[in-house]
Amino acid sequence: MGIFSGISHELIDIIEWTDDSSDVLLWRFPRWQNEIKNGAKLVVRQAQVAVFVNEGKIADVFQSGTYTLTTENIPILTTLRGWKYGFNSPFKAEVYFVNTKQYTDQKWGTKNPIMLNDDKFGMVELRAFGTYAFRVSDAKKFMEEIVGTNSSFTTEDIEGQLRSLMVTNLTSAVAKSNLGVEKFSANLDEFSAFAKEKVDPTFTEYGLTLTKLLVENVSMPPELQKEIFQYSRLNKIDMSKLAQMNVANSIETAAANQGGLAGAGMGIGVGFGMGNMMANTMGQSMNQMQQQAAPTPPPIPQAVQYFAVVGGKQAGPFNEQQLAQMAQSGSLLRDTLVWKAGMASWLAAGQVPEMTNIFGATPPPVPPGV
């Protein structure tokens, strides 16, 4: 994987990594006793970063480009320990190349079901799987947090850890989210965006960037899938089309039987009957719901009517206005017997509380002799 040239002191060393693999994240350049000569060439290709390490400490990070390692243009190298002879003699340092390209088609999945408390369906179990892509965005942090002293590091070495990080954070995020369970299975794009937003900060802590996360499938118990399917279709059923479909099925079935079109006629009747019945039922239910939802005024109060004994005979019924006129004319007195619905027996008009205002507005009789 590396090119080592210039063993002789007359030749200049070339330090580079020609990456011909698809899964290597980090590779340490092999040097005899880690010695680097003055004027050595460092070649860092696109999608690579070179990291110099001395006695376990990161000294410098080089981005893509070609460098001549001298104290004039790389002053930080003069701070490395063991520099007692100056830059004319070899110095010791480990050189790591970190691949910063995007690693795609990484698999992930939930080993155990995710428990979700849904408002419509209660406690449900979800399983999900898909793919993701990532790249190294901070080589220094990546080496400090994950690599350690490994001379090489592949995606296989880290995939288990990344998968655990992803599933753990995703499980926690889903449990705390307000997304309905039907969103997870019906809109995978939205779920994928939600998952990436929740998982990406964890990758950043390790010097990585989650560039893409795809949820390819969300599975749940069959009975829950059936319930969600029925729920989603509840408000989208066209009863007339359903009746037409039943009629067409009846004709096709009858034509294949001995009953022929006679059977088809029965099927047509049944189809239209069922369609009309279901349509009428749904229409009545909608009307009832609308009537229940709309506020209704109270019933108009009925005017109270009384019967009265006038001239020794029952007369009436009379409303309040008529009784007032009778009191003014003298045909209704306080001792006149009256009765209305709900009274146990006839009573004098002056003893009925509701008629007090009638006599209160009537002047008393003119005293005799006036």
- Supply the pTM of this predicted model: 0.54
For residue 35, give the nearest of 50, 17, 15, 49 by alpha carbon. Answer: 15
Which structural domain range is residue 354 located in?
306-360
Asked if 113 and 79 sit in the same domain, the reply is no
Asked if 219 and 111 sit in the same domain, the reply is yes
Asked if 112 and 191 sit in the same domain, the reply is yes
Domain containing residue 171: CATH number: 3.30.479.30
Asked if 63 and 128 sit in the same domain, the reply is no
Q: What is the pLDDT of residue 292?
A: 57
Last residue of a domain, one of 226, 244, 261: 226
Asked if 72 and 113 sit in the same domain, the reply is no
Domains: count for the chain: 3
Q: What is the pLDDT of residue 185?
A: 64
Within a domain: residue 74?
Answer: yes
Within a domain: residue 267?
Answer: no
Last residue of a domain, one of 99, 134, 166: 99
Last residue of a domain, one of 176, 208, 226: 226
Q: Which residues of 35-45 are buried (b: 16+ CB within 10 A; e: fewer)?
A: ebbbebebbbe
Q: In what order do the strands lie in the sheet with 24-28?
A: 57-62, 48-54, 94-99, 24-28, 152-154
Asked if 90 and 162 sit in the same domain, the reply is no
Asked if 123 and 78 sit in the same domain, the reply is no
Asked if 107 and 92 sit in the same domain, the reply is no
Asked if 118 and 193 sit in the same domain, the reply is yes
N residues, the chain: 370
Q: To 10 degrees, what angle do helices 188-204 and 155-176 make?
A: 120
Within a domain: residue 259?
Answer: no
Within a domain: residue 2?
Answer: no
Per-residue model confidence as pLDDT tens for the chain (370 residues): 444 443 444 445 789 998 778 889 999 988 766 677 777 889 999 999 999 887 778 888 999 999 888 755 555 555 554 444 444 556 677 899 999 999 999 998 888 777 777 777 777 778 888 999 999 999 999 988 887 767 888 888 888 888 888 888 887 777 666 666 766 666 788 888 888 888 899 899 999 999 999 988 877 777 766 766 666 666 555 556 556 666 776 776 766 665 554 444 444 454 445 555 555 655 565 556 555 555 667 666 666 788 888 878 888 788 777 878 787 877 778 888 888 877 878 888 777 777 777 776 556 566 666 5
Asked if 45 and 108 sit in the same domain, the reply is no
Within a domain: residue 252?
Answer: no
Asked if 94 and 108 sit in the same domain, the reply is no
Evaluate whether 135 touches 208 at the Cβ level (below 8 Å): yes
